[in-house]
Structures are given as C-alpha cells and as structure tokens.
Amino acid sequence: MLCPICSTPAPRALLQREKTPVLQNAVHHTPAEARAAATGELSIRHCDQCGFVWNSAFNPDRIRYSEGYDNSQTHSEAFLAHLRSRACRIIEALPANEAAHIVEIGCGQGDFIQRLMTLAPTGRSIHATGFDPAYRGIQEDGSDRIRIFPEYFTSDSASRLDESPSVLVSRHTIEHVPDPVGFLKAIRKTLPERSNVKLFLETPDNSWILRHDAFQDFFYEHCSLFDFGSMSIALRKAGFAPNKIETCFEGQYLWVEAEAAPDEDGESQPFGERLAQFRDKWYAIIEHARGKGRVALWGAGAKGATFALMMDPSGELIDAVVDSNPGKQGGFIAVSAHPIIAPEDVPSRDVRTLILMNPNYEKEVRERLSQVCWDPEVVVLR
C-alpha cells in the first residue's frame, strides 16, 4: 500500500472500526430507521513521511446524500464568528473595482456562499456559483447573483461556469474526497495556465486530532485528513503554489491560500520540480517530527547552513544545529541565526529528532549520542 499523497510505501495502521455509519450527519426519524443506517469500515492509515491520514477502506459508492442529511453549524454563535472571519479574508482577495465571480466547491446548503455575497462590495457586478451533491434548495436565487448545482465538482465542471472564477473556495470538502490530488487537479483545470486567482481551502488539521487524541474525529465521511506537510505536497502535485497554510478555529482547522503555480520553461522544469519536491518532503518530515518534540540538525557546515536557510529561514521550526567543532559552538548559522550547540547540549535542549546532513557520519553520530546518553530519532539526509 502506498500513501496517496507522497507514494511512500507501508503506511502505519492507526485505527480499525468494522462498523461505523457512513453518514454521520444524517438525521433519522425513528430508532428502527437509525439502527438500519448504512455502515462502512474504518481502516485509518498514517504516512510517517508526509503526515497524511486516510481511510484505506473507504468506498465512495457507500455515500448517498438524501433529504435527511444536515451538516449545518450555523446555529452556533462561535461558529458564525469563525465564518465571518473566513468570509472577510476571501472578500479581501476579490479584484478591486472589477466584476467578480466567486466559485464555492462543496457549498452545502449555500449558507457560506450567501454570507460571501452579503459581504461583497456593492456597486459592481459580483455573482457566485456553488457545487454540492447534498444541496436541496432552488438552483438559482432569482436575482442572477447565486447559482448552485446539486452535483459533485469534477474535471468537467468547468464547462458549467459562464466565466472564469475570480476566487475559488472549498471549505470542509477535501476531507470527504478519496482522491484529493485528483480533486485539486480538477479545480486547477478551471483556471488559465497563468493565473493569479486565489484558492481558499479549509479542512481539519490531522496533527491537532492526533495531538489531542481526538478519536471522535475519525469517522467515515472524513476519508482524507491533512497536516501542513501533506497539504503542501498535494497542492504542488496538483499545480498550485501554497502562499499560506495556517491553522484557524482554535487550531482545529487548516486554512490554505494558494495560487496556480506558473509552468517553468525549458530544461529547468525537471530540476525545479525536484527542488519543490525536496522542500515539500523535508518540510513534511520536520512538521511531523515537531509533533514529537524539538528538532535539530547535525552538521553546521555548508550543508547544514544551506539546509537550515532553505527549510527554516525564520528560525521557527528547527531548534538548533549540532556540531562537534568547538570553534563553532556558541555561534549562529548565517542569515537564519540558528544557534550552534555541542553534542553534549542535545539532552538539555530535549531534542527528540536529529536530521543528519551527511550519511557518511551516521555511525560516528550515533556513537556520540550514545556517549551523552541520549536516544533521539536520527533522520538521515540522503
């Protein structure tokens, strides 16, 4: 079995449930009807390389949206405040003083798309299109401002749009999709080759779920769960450049702002792609490792200084750089300003993961760690 995001083999099994409702948000009218609800299997897998979490037993054919499906959270004042803050972020991204077209993928019953239209500037032509297979309302609102198609968004959905999007929004949808990279590619297909149209995504943060032992957040509808690293990789594989990936709603959700990545020309493209993949891979490894504790590099030479600047220019992800050279200890890496520490300082800084810059020194480094009675995970840069 391979990870659907980074293709790393042998994912770790996290959780198994043999009988779980396939639709958690379906409302049943009698106890007998509820007990007879359709069920499916949970086989939750975790990729230790990129951080992606998914249900390998998910069967999309089991999902059947009907009248009784209701996932609205708009009866909560706390959630309404969150929706307002997200809507304002999106409205700020609309082109100034121009007509605009908002497209929301996975719009539910149209609550958020209506909120966006309420906040949209007046005095210019702004309209919206939504897609959601669970939508039960009228297809058009009568004002020609909102149109919603009660169907899944696919690679053919671009033909439904009467004009190109100004912004694309998809909140709490990608976690329901068994092929998230394919889903993102379908969204990318709606945009011209060179485009500065922004994509906004919101989805549960699986690192929050795992950190808080939120076992109640593993259920059938959510078959694809991301963290920072796996989301970055998925976006790049689909042709997007992530501008911002952060958390919101008290850390429970990822908030993503991305744009279509420009195609590189000529012979530089393969190298550019490999460079992006390198960054995505190691960013995912570092983010995953930080969930266990502090991360340090071993080797404050040219390799370590370059890697630190590439991966953590602001000095927020990597705690320190270890080096055996006493002349470097107590100093700082150029530009990124990571502190350089001695091997003896590793235990006192409680470093849980060490990234070794040169595999030729692996045996020596492990021996040195044994001498200082510390056993962090050693990840070798190869």
Structure tokens at 256: 């993503």
Q: Which residue in 132, 203, 129, 133 sits closest to 167, CA to CA?
A: 129
pTM score of the predicted model: 0.71
- Mean pLDDT on 2-31: 88
DSSP state of 140: B
CATH number assigned to the domain comprising residue 313: 3.40.50.720
Residues 191 and 97 occupy one common structural domain = yes
CATH of the domain at 24: 3.40.50.150
Mean pLDDT score across all residues of the chain: 89
- Kindly report, residue by residue over 52-108, the tens digit of the pLDDT: 999 999 999 998 877 667 667 777 888 899 999 999 999 998 888 788 999 999 998
Residue 99, domain extent:
1-275
Last residue of a domain, one of 220, 255, 275: 275
Domain termination site, one of 259, 275, 291: 275
pLDDT tens for 104-143 read 999 988 999 999 998 988 777 899 999 998 888 887 766 6
Higher pLDDT, 121 or 333: 333
290 and 183 within one domain:
no
pLDDT at 190 over 90: no
SS3 54: strand
Last-in-domain residue among 254, 275, 296: 275
- If asked whether residues 78 and 192 sit together in one domain, one would say yes
* 3-class DSSP assignment, residue 47: coil
